[in-house]
Amino acid sequence: MKKVKYSDLNARQKEIYNFQKVSAIFADFGYTTVKLSDDWMGADFIAISFNGNKYLKVQLKGRLTFEKKYHNKNIYICFHDQTSDSWYLYPHDKVLKKITKTKKGIKSSKSWKNVGGYSSGVLSIDTKKILSQYLFR
C-alpha cells in the first residue's frame, strides 16, 4: 500500500483525512469522536470523553479561523498548521477575544464585515504565542 499525498486530495478528501488524523489525537486524550452529517450547532463533530462526563463541539478547519456564526455557541476550532505540522484545538470565543487585543484589524477587516469571518493560513509570532497553550498533539 502506498501513502497518499495530502496535496493530491480534493477538498472533501482533505476534510475526511483531517478528521481521521485528529480523531487519533483525541483518542490519545481519552475521547472518541462522532462525525456529524450536518453541522449541529456549528460543529462538524462531537468529541466525547471515554467516561462520558465531557463533550466538545468541534469545527474542523484547514487554517486559523474565526466566524461570527460561532459566537456564543461554545465551539472549539481544530486545525492543522501545515507550516509547523502542528494541530491546534482552541475555544473560539476565548481566543478571538485574546487575538483581537493584538490583531485589532480582524474585526475591521473586509472579510469580517462583509462575510462574517476571518482566517489566516500563516500564523504570526503573536498568534503562535496565544495559541501555544492550545497545541494539540
* pLDDT for residue 5: 94
| pTM of structure | 0.92
Q: What number of H helices and E strands is found in the chain? A: 4, 7
Q: How far apart are the first and last CA of the chain?
A: 26
- Ordered domains of the chain (ranges, CATH): 6-134 (3.40.1350)
The region that residue 128 occupies, defined by phi over 0 for left and psi between -120 and 50 for alpha, beta otherwise, is alpha
Per-residue pLDDT of the chain (137 residues; tens, 9 = 90+): 999 999 999 999 999 999 999 999 999 999 999 999 887 888 999 999 999 999 999 999 999 999 999 999 999 999 999 889 999 999 999 999 998 877 667 888 889 889 999 999 899 898 999 999 999 98
Collapsing DSSP to helix, strand or coil, 72 comes out as coil
CA distance 59 to 80: 12
Q: Can you give the C-alpha Rg of the chain in angstroms? A: 15
